[in-house]
Amino acid sequence: MSKAAELAALIGSQSALSNRNLIINGAMQVAQRGTSGINSAAGGGICADRHKGFSNGGGVFSMEQSSTVPNNEFAYSSKLTVTTADSSIASADYYSFQQTIEGYNIIQTGYGTSDAKRLTLSFWVRSSVTGKYSVTCFNNGGTEGYLNTFNISSADTWQKVELSWVGRTSGTWLKTNGAGMIIRFDLGGGSSGHGTADQWTTTSGYGNTRTADSVDWIATNGATFYMTGVQLEVGEQATPFEHRSFGDELKQCERYYEKTYEYGTVAGTPESYPTNMGMRMNGFDLASGQRYMVFRLRTEKRARPTNTYYGHLGNSGKISTADAGGTLTERNLGLSVTSTSMVGGGSSNGAYAGLMLYVVSDAEL
Amino acid sequence: MNITSAQYMEYEGKNSCIVIVVDGVTMHVPLDPDNRHYAEILRQVAAGELTIADAD
């Protein structure tokens, strides 16, 4: 796209010049949970932050942060690989790669009102399986959905896709901290999810996830699927991908998931004391076995988070205590207070010089 | 979500959270319907798939 065309696209769109991408981590650069070896799951597995891989059936695909990219504008993509194929998909089974957008972040779309605006989705994609693919814009619960399709005609080749659809004036679209909108890329599914493309449909829930003639990517063992540069914006045409700084993107991701480990350390990794203890939380040992550990999360969470506490050996549900000589011992957490600034206690009393633990705080949608 | 155990934790005599084990990882889940783990716990309890033990 020429510079003049880019400017025309921006002027012609209804988008702001910045912060117009409703997708967080669209360039797949933030991966706090690890960069490989993460599988899809019924509740949604996550490798690149905010992007979930669902498998509701016998198939499984792995996810990794890949350096295979369409051009040098990007450094990373999400790579999905089928590790357990499902070639006999049951009617209610589904496989998808999706992002759920918080309701606060879709207010500008006007969805569910007479002011609902047209949305445009653009992304780079590459797959080893050619054919028709489906991607649907859903509300929370999937009762309202607009089903789009795109074709991949050349295997293992990057292509840019741009899709646009009319705004939805009806239905319930949460504008709160709940799930406001879901962009779901279909990777295979049964007849319960079959719907009609290029229209809004009301169903009892996710009833138009894919067209009947969409490919079942999950049916091919070893199949690969790459994606990056995902952008959803208000307006009738796609604008250039909005690159945000790594720090800004990480901050947005932390609203849904944050850890006190260093960025590149996967939660549960054993840490050696004192040379490699990262950003552990330190506590104090008071008299009479009373111990206090105070911490504040860097970023306000979307909702009260699920907290997982790790000792220095990488075991969950633990806290590490240090004696006067600095020797660490992992102990069971005796008292737990979630979603506040205090964690305290060990399972047994003793004279400890200090307390240490790591925290993973999860408020993902 | 493969929850293999669930137990309430008390703080000052009131249930403060649910400690669950998922794939071998111990998590502390707040009693908040906006939390996806708590929502899943409620779903599994309603479906008869999970029982939450009382606090010790």
**Separation CA A89–CA A96 (nearest Å):** 13
**Separation CA B41–CA B50 (nearest Å):** 7
**Residue A342's pLDDT is what?**
38
Residue B16 to residue A303, Cβ atoms within 8 A: no
Q: Name the DSSP class of B53.
A: B
**Residue A258's pLDDT is what?**
96
Query: Which neighbouring-strand residues pair with A163?
Result: A121
**3-state DSSP helix/strand/coil percent for chain B, to nearest 5?**
20, 45, 35
Conformational region of residue A112, where left means phi above 0, alpha means psi within -120 to 50, and beta covers everything else = left
**Residue A113's pLDDT is what?**
98
**Residue A344's pLDDT is what?**
44
**Residue A356's pLDDT is what?**
79
- Non-local (6+) Cβ contacts of A328 within 8 A are A273, A311, A312, A320, A321, A322, A356
**Residue A14's pLDDT is what?**
55
**Separation CA A143–CA A164 (nearest Å):** 20
Contacts of A362 in chain B (CB under 8 A): 27, 37
| Count of A-B CB contacts under 8 Å | 63
Residue A306 to residue B29, Cβ atoms within 8 A: yes
Q: If 0-12 CB within 10 Å is exposed, 13-18 middle and 19+ buried, where does residue A363 land?
A: buried
Q: Looking at CA atoms only, how far is residue A57 from chain B in angstroms?
A: 13
**Residue A336's pLDDT is what?**
44
**Separation CA A186–CA A215 (nearest Å):** 9
**Separation CA A241–CA A43 (nearest Å):** 29
Which one of B1, B27, B30 has the shortest CB-CB distance to A339? B30
**Residue A5's pLDDT is what?**
61
CA neighbours within 13 Å on the CB side: how many for A318?
18
The answer to whether residues A361 and A301 touch, using CB atoms and an 8 Å cutoff, is yes
The answer to whether residues A190 and A90 touch, using CB atoms and an 8 Å cutoff, is yes
Residue B36 to residue A364, Cβ atoms within 8 A: yes
Q: Name the DSSP class of A35.
A: S
Q: What is the pLDDT of residues B6-51, one digit of tens each?
A: 999 887 778 989 999 999 999 999 999 999 999 999 999 999 999 9
**Residue A47's pLDDT is what?**
98
Regarding pTM above 0.80, the answer is: yes
Q: Locate A256 and state its tokens.
A: 């849904």
Position of tokens 């997708």?
Answer: A23
Contacts of B42 in chain A (CB under 8 A): none
**Residue A331's pLDDT is what?**
81
Which one of A177, A303, A338 has the shortest CB-CB distance to B17? A338
Contacts of A337 in chain B (CB under 8 A): 11, 16-17
Conformational region of residue A288, where left means phi above 0, alpha means psi within -120 to 50, and beta covers everything else = left
**Separation CA A45–CA A207 (nearest Å):** 22
Question: Kind and range of the H or E element at B45?
Answer: helix B36-46
Are β-strands A318-322 and A179-189 bridged in parallel, bridged antiparallel, or unpaired?
A: unpaired
Q: How far from each other are the two terminal CA atoms of chain B, in whole angstroms?
A: 24
Per residue in B21-49, is it b (16+ CB within 10 Å) or e — as a string? bbeeebbbbbbbebbbbbebbeebeeeee
The answer to whether residues A169 and A112 touch, using CB atoms and an 8 Å cutoff, is yes
Alpha helices, DSSP H, located in chain A = 3-12, 246-254
- DSSP three-state, residue A147: strand
Position of tokens 């369409």?
Answer: A70
What is the interface pTM, i.e. ipTM, of the complex?
0.97
Residue in B15, B28, B40, B50 to test binding to A, most A beta-carbons within 10 Å? B28
Q: Which one-letter amino acid corresponds to residue A108?
A: Q
The alpha carbon of A273 is separated from its chain's Cα centroid by a whole number of angstroms, namely 32
Q: Locate A223 and state its tokens.
A: 């199949």
For chain A, which ranges sit under pLDDT 50? 336-349
The alpha carbon of A28 is separated from its chain's Cα centroid by a whole number of angstroms, namely 9
Q: Looking at CA atoms only, how far is residue B42 from chain A in angstroms?
A: 14
Contacts of B8 in chain A (CB under 8 A): none
CA neighbours within 13 Å on the CB side: how many for A177?
15
Position of tokens 């309430």?
Answer: B8
